[in-house]
C-alpha cells in the first residue's frame, strides 16, 4: 500500500532531485538495493536483452540516467516510472554479481542491512537477499541465511513487495564464494520438541534420520558434546 | 523503575522491527536494583532492537532453580514485568475484570483469558505460592477481589508485577487443560500467532512456546510444527513476553490434540509421478520472445531456459508434470508458479532449499556447498531434491 503511494507521487520528486538512482535508493523499502555504479548502467553491453523485458525501455532508461524529457502525459509518466524501477532492478541483479557489486553488498551485509535470521539457533546471523526465481514477477525477494542455509520471507511488508528477480537466484552463493571468510560456522544445535520433558516419538525418529544424514554430509557440523544423550 | 516502564510503553508497530533492516544488537543496559534493598546489586537488561529480551543479574546468570525460591532474587526477575501503567488497571478494573483487561493490552494477544473458576481452584495453583512475592495480594488482584488497602498501595507496583507473573504461570497451566487447548486452537486457527517465516514451509501456522518452564529465563519463541524449529516472534511487542507463560510442552501438546492444525504435506515424488497441475505462467510485463534464438541473455540463469521450455508446452493448456520424468528440476520447477495462483496449493508444500549458481548445483567440496540440508530433511524428501 505504502509502496504504491510512493510510486504515485514519485515522479514529481524525481524531477526535483538530481539523480534518479540516488533518489530511488533513498526511498523507504529500498534498503535491500545497493547503488548501481553509473558506469555500469551507461555501458550498453550490460543491458543486453533487457529491452525485451521492460516496456517503454528507452524512456525508462533515460529516466534512470537522468536524461528524461518532460513531454509525457501523466499516464505515460507513471508507466515509465514503473518500468524504470523494474529496469533498474534487473540491472541491479546483474550488477551485484560483478566484483564491484559484491563488494558493495559486503558492506551492506556487515551493516546487516538485510536483517537477521529469524531462527533462534542462528544467533541473529545477518542474512543475504535472494530471489527464488530469475524470471521477473514470479517470486518476491527472500532472505538466505548462511548459517542454516535456508530461505525466509522478509519481516517487513515493504520488502515483500520487491521482485525476487532484482536479486536473482545466484547472488548469495556467489557472494559466499567470493568472500568465504564471511561464511559463519555452522551449528548442529537444534530445537528438540518435548512434552513435559519427554521427547516426542515421531519427532525423535525424524531427528535420528536427520542426524544420520548429517553424519553422511561432508563438512556438516558435528554433534555437540553438551547435547543430552539419545 | 521508571526507565523500565518507558521502554515497554513505546508504541510498537509491525515495521519497527526491520524498518531499515536495522541491526538488531544486544545492548546491555544496567539498572540498580533499588527495590531489592540492595543498591549494589545490578541487573542488566539485554535488548534486541527496541525491546527487552532478557534480564541478567549482576553475576551474569539467571536465577537458577535454587534461587527461584529466594524472594529477593525473584524480585529481580520480576521487574521486567513491572511495566504497565497502574492507572490503567484501576480505571479498567471497574469496568472489565483484571484478566480481560490484561489480555486486551497491546502485545498480549497471545494470551487467552483464564476463567475465574480455574484460578479460584487452589489445586491448580499448587506450588506457585513460594516463588511469587505478595502471592495473596496478587491473586486478589487477578480475581478483582482486592479491597484496595491503603497499606497495599505502597507495594502496588510490586503486586502488579507479581500478578502478571502469577497470571502467566497460571496461564501456562491452563492452556494445557482441555478448555485452554480449545481456546488456543481457536486462536491458532484464526492465525493470531502468524506464519512460519521459512519460505518452504508454505506459510504454516506457528505456535508460541517457551524454551524453559522457569520464569525469567527466556522470552517467548515461536515454533513451527512443519520444520520443527523455533523462531523469534516477528513483532517486537511480543519479544518481551516470558516464555514460561506458555511453557515448553504446550505447542507440541496442541498439535497432538488437534493434528488438523498442521495440514498434511503432499509429497511430490519423482518416481511415482505427481499430478500437480500447473497453469501456464503469466507474464504481466514485457514482450516475451516466442523463439528462443532471439533470447541471448548471457547473464540470465539456466533456470530461465528451463522455464521457457515449459512455457512452450504450457501455453496452450495446463501441464501435467512429473510422470517418471525424474528430472531434478521437477521439485524446483513447480515453485515458479505464481504465489497468488489458486491451483498451486502452497499450504501443502514442503521443500528443502537447494542452492544454485547460474542454475547449476554446487559441488560438495565448495565452500558454499549445502551442509545444513539434514536439518530440513523429512520423510519423503527425495535425494534429487537435495541435489545428490
Instruction: For B323-348, give the DSSP string.
Output: SS---THHHHHGGGS-TT-TTS-GGG
Looking at beta carbons, which residues of chain A come within 8 Å of B350?
Answer: none
Cα angle value A214/A194/B135 (rounded, 5°):
145
ipTM (interface pTM): 0.85
Looking at the complex, does the CB of residue B65 fall below 8 Å from at least one CB of chain A?
no
pLDDT for the residue B151? 62
Residues from chain A that touch B299, judged by Cβ atoms under 8 A, are 48-49, 94
Q: Give the span between the Cα atoms of A60 and A20, in whole angstroms.
A: 11
A219 CB neighbours in chain B (<8 A) are 364, 369, 371
Q: Using an 8 Å CB-CB cutoff, list chain A residues near B335.
A: 132-133, 139
Return the pLDDT at B265.
74
| Parts of chain B with a pLDDT under 70 | 1-94, 146-152, 266-348, 383-385, 387-388
Cβ contact, residue pair A133, B248, below 8 Å: no
Q: Are A176 and B199 within 8 A, CB to CB?
A: no
The backbone torsions φ and ψ at residue A131, rounded to the nearest 5 degrees and listed phi first, read: -100, 140
Span A58-68, average pLDDT: 88
Contacts of B256 in chain A (CB under 8 A): 195, 200
Average of per-residue pLDDT across A53-73: 85
The cell numbers describing A9, all together, are: 507521487
For residue B347, give every residue at least 6 positions away whose Cβ sits within 8 Å of its Cβ, in sequence order, or none: B202, B203, B204, B263
Q: Which of B278, B372, B383 to mutate to test the interface with A (most CBs of A within 10 A)?
A: B372
Inter-residue contact A202 to A166 (CB < 8 Å)? no
CA distance A116 to chain B (A): 7
Average pLDDT of the segment spanning A181-188 = 92
Looking at the partner chain, which of B197, B300, B372 has a beta carbon nearest the beta carbon of A152? B197
Contact B18 A173 (CB under 8 A): no
Contact B23 A53 (CB under 8 A): no
Least confident of A199-203, A212-216, B220-224, B315-319: B315-319
pLDDT at A210 over 50: yes
Residue of A nearest to B290 (CA): A52
Mean pLDDT in residue range A100-118: 94
Q: How far is B299 from chain A (nearest CA, A)?
A: 7
Residue B153 touches partner A, C-beta closer than 8 Å: no
Please give the model's pTM, rounded to 2 decimal places.
0.69
* Residue in B18, B355, B375 closest to A156 by CB: B18
When CB atoms are compared, the residue of B48, B307, B357 closest to A174 is B357
Report the gap between the CA of B244 and the closest CA in chain A (Å): 13
Give the pLDDT score at A115. 94
- Render pLDDT for B89-121 as a digit per residue (tens, 0 to 9): 444 445 788 999 999 999 999 999 999 999 999
pLDDT in tens, A115-166: 999 999 999 999 999 999 999 998 899 999 999 999 999 998 889 889 999 9
List of chain A residues whose C-beta atoms are within 8 Å of the C-beta of residue B371: 149, 186, 217-221
Residue among B189, B212, B240 at smallest CA distance from B68:
B212
Rounded (10°) angle between helices B86-95 and B156-174: 60
Gap between the Cα atoms of B374 and A212, Å rounded:
8
Of A124, A153, A197, the CB nearest to B197: A153
- Closest Cα in chain B, distance from residue A107 (Å): 13
Q: How many CB pairs under 8 A join A and B?
A: 210
CB–CB of A120 and B230 under 8 A? yes
User: CA-CA distances (angstroms) from residue B259 to B176, B247, B251?
Assistant: 15, 19, 11
B363 → chain A, closest CA residue: A218
- With a cut of 70, say whether residue A105 has pLDDT above it: yes
- CB–CB contact A150 B376 (8 Å): yes
Q: For residue A177, give how far its alpha carbon lies from the nearest alpha carbon of chain B (Å).
A: 6
Closest CA of chain A from B186, distance in Å: 21
In angstroms, the separation between the Cα of residue A71 and the nearest Cα of chain B is 23
The alpha-carbon gap from A55 to the nearest alpha carbon of chain B, in Å, equals: 5
Average pLDDT over residues A68-81: 82
- Identify all chain B residues contacting A118, using CB atoms and an 8 Å cutoff: 197, 231-232, 234
Tell me how far CA of residue B249 lies from CA of A198, A208, B255, B308, in angstroms. Answer: 9, 21, 10, 49
- Closest residue in A to B201 (Cα) is A152
Alpha-carbon B132 to chain mean position: 27
B283-340 residue pLDDT tens: 333 333 333 333 333 333 333 333 333 333 333 323 333 333 333 333 333 333 333 4
Minimal Cα distance from A30: which residue of B? B20
Overall average pLDDT of the A56-80 stretch: 85
Pick from B198, B289, B371: CB nearest A52: B289
Q: Which residues of B touch A153 (CB under 8 A)?
A: 197, 199
Q: DSSP secondary structure string, chain A?
A: -HHHHHHHSHHHHHHHSS-HHHHHHHSTT-TTPPPPPHHHHH-GGGGTTGGGTSTTHHHHHHHHTT---S---HHHHHHHHHHHHHHHHHHHHHHTTSHHHHHHHHHHHHTTTT-B--BGGGTT-B-EEE-S-SSTTS-B-EEEETTTTEEE--SSHHHHTSBGGGTTTTHHHHHHHH-GGGSPPP-------EETTEEPHHHHHHHHHHHHHHHHSTTPPPPPTTSPP-
pLDDT at B270: 41
Q: Note whether B223 contacts A: Cβ–Cβ < 8 A.
A: yes
Among candidates A120, A195, A210 on the partner chain, residue whose Cβ is nearest the Cβ of B375: A210
Amino acid at each position: 500500500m505504502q509502496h504504491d503511494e510512493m510510486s504515485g507521487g514519485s515522479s514529481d520528486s524525481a524531477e526535483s532531485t538530481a539523480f534518479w538512482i540516488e533518489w530511488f535508493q533513498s526511498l523507504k523499502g529500498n534498503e535491500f538495493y545497493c547503488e548501481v555504479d553509473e558506469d555500469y548502467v551507461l555501458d550498453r553491453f550490460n543491458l543486453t536483452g533487457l529491452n525485451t523485458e521492460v516496456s517503454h525501455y528507452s524512456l525508462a532508461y533515460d529516466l534512470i540516467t537522468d536524461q528524461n524529457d518532460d513531454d509525457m502525459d501523466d499516464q505515460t509518466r507513471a508507466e515509465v516510472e514503473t518500468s524504470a524501477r523494474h529496469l533498474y532492478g534487473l540491472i541491479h541483479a546483474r550488477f551485484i554479481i560483478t566484483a564491484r557489486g559484491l563488494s558493495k553488498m559486503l558492506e551492506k551485509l556487515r551493516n546487516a542491512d538485510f536483517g537477521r535470521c529469524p531462527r533462534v539457533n542462528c544467533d541473529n546471523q545477518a542474512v543475504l537477499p535472494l530471489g527464488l526465481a530469475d524470471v521477473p514477477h514470479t517470486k518476491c525477494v527472500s532472505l538466505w541465511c548462511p548459517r542454516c542455509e535456508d530461505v525466509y520471507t522478509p519481516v517487513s511488508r515493504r520488502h515483500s513487495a520487491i521482485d525476487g528477480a532484482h536479486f536473482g537466484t545466484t547472488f548469495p552463493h556467489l557472494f559466499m564464494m567470493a568472500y568465504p571468510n564471511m561464511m559463519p560456522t555452522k551449528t548442529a544445535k537444534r530445537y528438540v520438541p518435548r512434552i513435559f520433558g519427554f521427547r516426542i516419538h515421531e519427532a525423535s525418529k525424524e531427528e535420528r534420520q536427520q542426524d544420520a544424514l548429517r553424519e553422511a554430509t561432508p563438512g556438516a557440523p558435528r554433534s555437540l558434546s553438551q547435547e543430552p544423550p539419545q | 523503575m521508571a526507565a523500565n516502564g518507558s521502554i515497554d510503553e513505546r508504541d510498537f508497530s509491525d515495521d519497527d522491527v526491520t524498518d531499515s533492516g536495522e541491526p538488531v544488537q544486544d545492548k546491555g543496559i544496567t539498572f540498580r536494583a533499588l527495590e531489592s534493598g540492595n543498591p549494589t546489586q545490578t541487573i542488566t537488561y539485554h535488548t534486541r532492537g527496541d525491546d527487552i529480551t532478557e534480564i541478567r543479574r549482576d553475576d551474569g546468570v539467571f536465577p537458577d532453580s535454587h534461587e527461584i525460591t529466594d524472594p529477593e532474587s525473584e524480585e529481580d526477575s520480576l521487574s521486567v514485568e513491572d511495566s504497565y501503567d497502574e492507572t490503567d488497571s484501576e480505571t479498567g478494573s471497574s469496568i472489565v475484570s483484571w484478566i480481560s483487561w490484561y489480555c486486551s493490552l497491546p502485545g498480549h494477544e497471545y494470551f487467552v483469558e483464564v476463567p475465574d473458576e480455574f484460578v479460584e481452584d487452589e489445586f491448580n495453583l499448587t506450588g506457585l505460592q513460594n516463588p511469587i512475592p505478595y502471592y495473596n495480594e496478587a491473586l486478589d488482584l487477578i480475581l478483582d477481589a482486592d479491597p484496595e488497602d491503603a497499606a497495599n498501595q505502597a507495594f502496588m507496583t510490586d503486586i502488579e508485577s507479581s500478578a502478571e507473573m502469577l497470571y502467566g504461570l497460571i496461564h501456562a497451566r491452563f492452556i494445557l487443560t482441555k478448555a485452554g487447548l480449545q481456546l488456543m486452537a481457536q486462536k491458532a486457527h484464526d492465525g493470531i500467532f502468524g506464519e512460519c517465516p521459512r519460505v518452504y514451509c508454505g506459510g504454516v501456522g506457528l505456535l508460541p512456546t517457551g524454551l524453559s518452564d522457569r520464569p525469567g529465563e527466556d522470552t517467548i519463541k515461536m515454533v513451527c510444527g512443519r520444520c520443527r524449529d523455533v523462531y523469534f516472534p516477528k513483532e517486537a511487542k511480543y519479544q518481551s513476553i516470558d516464555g514460561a507463560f506458555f511453557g515448553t510442552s504446550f505447542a507440541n501438546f496442541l498439535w497432538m490434540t488437534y493434528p488438523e492444525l498442521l495440514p498434511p504435506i503432499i509429497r511430490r515424488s519423482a518416481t511415482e509421478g505427481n499430478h500437480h497441475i500447473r497453469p501456464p505462467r503469466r507474464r504481466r510485463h514485457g514482450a516475451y520472445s516466442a523463439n528462443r534464438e532471439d533470447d541471448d541473455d548471457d547473464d540470465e540463469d539456466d533456470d530461465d531456459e528451463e522455464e521457457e521450455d515449459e512455457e512452450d508446452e504450457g501455453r496452450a493448456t495446463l501441464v501435467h508434470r512429473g510422470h517418471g520424468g525424474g528430472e531434478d528440476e521437477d521439485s524446483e520447477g513447480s515453485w515458479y508458479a505464481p504465489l497468488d495462483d489458486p491451483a498451486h496449493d502452497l499450504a501443502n508444500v514442503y521443500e528443502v532449499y537447494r542452492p544454485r549458481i547460474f542454475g547449476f548445483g554446487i559441488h560438495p567440496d565448495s565452500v558454499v556447498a549445502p551442509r545444513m540440508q539434514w536439518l530440513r530433511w523429512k520423510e519423503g524428501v527425495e535425494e534429487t531434491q537435495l541435489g545428490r
